[in-house]
Amino acid sequence: MISTVLVANRGEIACRVFRTCRAAGIRTVAVHSDADEDALHTRLADAAVRLPGTASADTYLRGDLVVKAATAAGADAVHPGYGFLSENAGFARAVTDAGLTWIGPPPEAIEAMASKTRAKALMGIAPLGEVTEADLPVLVKAAAGGGGRGMRVVRRLADLDAELTAARAEAASAFGDGEVFVEPYVEDGRHVEVQILADTHGTVWVLGTRDCSLQRRHQKVVEEAPAPGLDASLTRDLYEQAVRAARAVDYAGAGTVEFLVADGRAHFLEMNTRLQVEHPVTEAVFGIDLVALQLRVAEGHALDGEPPRPRGHAVEARLYAEDPANGWAPQTGRLHRLAVPDGIRLDTGYTDGDDIGVHYDPMLAKLVAHAPTRAEAVRRLAGALERAAVHGPVTNRDLLVRSLRHEEFTSARMDTGFYDRHLTALTEPAPDPLAPLAAALADASARSGRFGGWRNLPSGPQVKRYAVAGEEHEVRYHHTRTGLAAEGVRVVQADAGRVVLEADGVRRRFEVARYGDEIHVDATRLTALPRFPDPTTQLAPGSLLAPMPGTVVRVAEGLTEGATVEAGQPLLWLEAMKMEHRITAPVTGTLSALNAEPGRQVEVGALLAVVDGDAG
């Protein structure tokens, strides 16, 4: 019997495993980098062990340090979570060699399937050799790990070498393994996967399908179970291939076999020898706890002959601290509040007041809705996201709501090209037109309560300015004998945290929260602006500013001040939240300033370079 589990991971998945362990009466141990010293998973565990440093390569990817932490803390088992070392056969062996129970598949199975090239060979699929024009487009893909890291779509043969270099660098940083391979890129297919669970007694459960087609940068955004619209023949083929993959490597534990479905056929992609981020939708549909079952399998228990019967439909959305309208740029800062309506499952590695840093994935939480039908589950999740309190940095919340309500998704006609086609429309700013007024009235009410606002003599209107979705909004209101007033609406109530307005006979209530200059009015995020602009913020045309905090990892080869650059030419690369972000020249001209060198850490808005355009 397992008594103490160390989770060799961080954030949401560590918290999720701890929850099941605690319910089972199992003690828990966390490991943490210096950046995660006060993270939620560190605080939730019964014990925590420091891994010195902040970079993943120095901390969560150091299997030797993690095993040493487990023995020091008295753990007798290790759960790898997902990402990091979860598909590292050497780490699994190190755990068992130390006399600890490995809560995962046998190292031999990991070795066979963790490398996508070896997995394809087992399934009789050969990767591309020398790439020609006839092969385009192709996909460059990391052999180890997942989550879209180390992955590049190449449409021009001239770009292949550069993309191979970038993919290798990103894969080495994320997984400690820079091996990549090239395969044909199937346009606009559906990403469908099969959840399996196997014990050490020969039983393999097939726990249905999931559709994960809504992706950005090859990372999943919305997932659901079961995958809608698959006919019986295709579903049977998916199940048979998944079981064949599991039995080929004597699999044990939870795993996922992934496919690209196109033209009515299932194309094998890979087998993930670990728990998936999207496992909660399968848990909801089958009424099971996959982590609890992982623990039972690791203890040697046999599964029942048949899995439970599925019920209803479940949909999951990943809430990211990122700006989809700005190249999916990750966001950092204080998460002031995160709360969702009742009836929605929330898996997160954050709580109110936590800081979102630059070192790790920007996922804040996963929200899961379960209902008797797909339409009901989708509607429930969209409504919950719309009503959720997400106070802090910019997130993809609005994008998720619009995606779930998009006709292509509601009719189950989506594919992996969904955001390529619809991102512009889905990120079109649509702030609530009354939100700035509600913010101003809430602020005025708070100030009036402290200092008094009404004057006996007539005075001009009060003016406040806010930035909303990149646009400036100016609002005007008055202090009157009977309270606050504004043109065109009736102010029914105005308190520091709640404003009720009536316009055209319709009464609406707004919940308002303010954190310094950052204001949240329901789902609208505003920034209070000063009365007069700051003249020191003026920048020269052609200035390239860091779009997010991060580290300069590369500068274009041979690039120096005075060089001539072309519009769109890559100048340097920033790494933030485990992803590389390319900074390109805004215009054709001369590089007059370069303030970046590899290893330099920059804050958002830092001046990286200046390009003087040919026209001046």
- Give pLDDT, residue 485: 95
- Give pLDDT, residue 467: 93
Residue 119 has pLDDT above 90, yes or no: no
Residue 288 has pLDDT above 50, yes or no: yes
Task: Share the mean pLDDT of the chain.
Answer: 92
The per-residue pLDDT for range 461-506, each reduced to its tens digit, is 899 999 998 888 999 999 988 899 999 999 999 999 999 999 999 9
**Sheet (strand 253-262) strand order:** 265-272, 253-262, 190-198, 204-216, 219-225, 313-320, 363-371, 345-348
- Give pLDDT, residue 339: 98
Residue 401 has pLDDT above 70, yes or no: yes
- Give pLDDT, residue 116: 76
The token duo for 523 is 């789902």
Q: How confident is the model at residue 616 (pLDDT cuts 50, 70, 90)?
A: very low
| CA–CA separation, 4 and 351 (whole Å) | 25
- Give pLDDT, residue 48: 98
- Give pLDDT, residue 301: 98
- Give pLDDT, residue 399: 98
- Range scoring the smallest mean pLDDT among 63-77, 352-366, 367-381, 589-603: 589-603
Residue 88 has pLDDT above 70, yes or no: yes
Q: What is the mean pLDDT of residues 583-594?
A: 91
Residue 41 has pLDDT above 70, yes or no: yes
Residue 534 has pLDDT above 70, yes or no: no
Name the residue among 184, 209, 185 with its Cα closest to residue 196. 209
What stretch(es) of the chain map to CATH 3.40.50.20?
4-103
DSSP 576-602: ETTEEEEEE-SSSEEEEEE---TT-EE
- Give pLDDT, residue 130: 87
Q: What is the mean pLDDT of residues 536-545?
A: 72
3-class DSSP assignment, residue 230: coil
The token duo for 451 is 């200092």
Residues in contact with 233: Cβ distance below 8 Å, sequence separation at least 6, in sequence order:
none
- Give pLDDT, residue 456: 53
> Tokens 């989708």, residue?
378
CATH code for the structural domain at 435-529: 3.30.700
**What class is the 536-613 domain?**
mainly beta
Q: How confident is the model at residue 177 (pLDDT cuts 50, 70, 90)?
A: confident
Residue 174 has pLDDT above 80, yes or no: no
Q: What is the mean pLDDT of residues 511-534?
A: 89
Q: What percent of the chain has pLDDT over 70?
A: 95
- Range scoring the smallest mean pLDDT among 301-305, 449-453, 606-610: 449-453
Residue 213 has pLDDT above 90, yes or no: yes
Name the residue among 318, 315, 319 with its Cα closest to residue 335. 319
Q: Are residues 425 and 418 in contact, defined by beta-carbon separation less than 8 angstroms?
A: no
**What class is the 4-103 domain?**
alpha beta
Question: Which amino acid is located at 218 in the chain?
Answer: H
Q: Which residues are known to be catalytic?
A: 274
Better pLDDT: 287 or 152 = 287
- Give pLDDT, residue 200: 97
At the topology level of CATH, where does 190-426 sit? D-amino Acid Aminotransferase; Chain A, domain 1 (3.30.470)
Sign for the pseudo-dihedral over CA of 493, 499, 502, 503: positive
> Tokens 């894969």, residue?
171
What stretch(es) of the chain map to CATH 2.40.50.100?
536-613
Neighbours of 432 (CB within 10 A): 16
Query: Torsion angle, CA of 301/304/306/310, rounded to 10 degrees?
Result: -90
- Range scoring the smallest mean pLDDT among 6-10, 92-96, 126-130: 126-130
Q: How confident is the model at residue 209 (pLDDT cuts 50, 70, 90)?
A: very high
Q: Are residues 11 and 349 in contact, defined by beta-carbon separation less than 8 angstroms?
A: yes
Q: Is the peptide bond before 393 cis (omega within 30 degrees of 0)?
A: no
Query: Torsion angle, CA of 546/551/554/558, rounded to 10 degrees?
Result: 60
Residue 92 has pLDDT above 90, yes or no: yes
- 574: which strand partners? 552, 581
Residues in contact with 557: Cβ distance below 8 Å, sequence separation at least 6, in sequence order:
none
- Give pLDDT, residue 605: 80
Kindly list the distances between the CA atom of residue 404 and the CA atoms of 173, 184, 339, 344, 546, in Å, as whole numbers in the listed order. 33, 29, 19, 15, 32
3-class DSSP assignment, residue 135: helix
Q: How confident is the model at residue 187 (pLDDT cuts 50, 70, 90)?
A: confident
| CA–CA separation, 101 and 78 (whole Å) | 6
Number of helices (H), then strands (E), in the chain? 15, 38
The token duo for 596 is 């970046």
The per-residue pLDDT for range 268-286, each reduced to its tens digit, is 999 999 999 999 999 999 9
Query: Torsion angle, CA of 237/241/246/250, rounded to 10 degrees?
Result: 110
What stretch(es) of the chain map to CATH 3.30.1490.20?
118-184
The token duo for 612 is 């003087």
Q: What is the mean pLDDT of residues 64-90?
A: 97
> Tokens 């399968």, residue?
282
The per-residue pLDDT for range 294-315, each reduced to its tens digit, is 999 999 999 999 999 999 999 9
Q: Are residues 442 and 495 in contact, defined by beta-carbon separation less than 8 angstroms?
A: yes
- Give pLDDT, residue 143: 80
Q: Which CATH architecture has domain 118-184?
A: 2-Layer Sandwich (3.30)
Helix (H) or strand (E) holding 405: helix 397-405
Residue 521 has pLDDT above 60, yes or no: yes
Q: What own/partner pairs with CB < 8 Å and gap ≥ 24 does 152-161 have?
A: 153/185, 154/182, 154/185, 157/131, 157/132, 157/133, 160/131
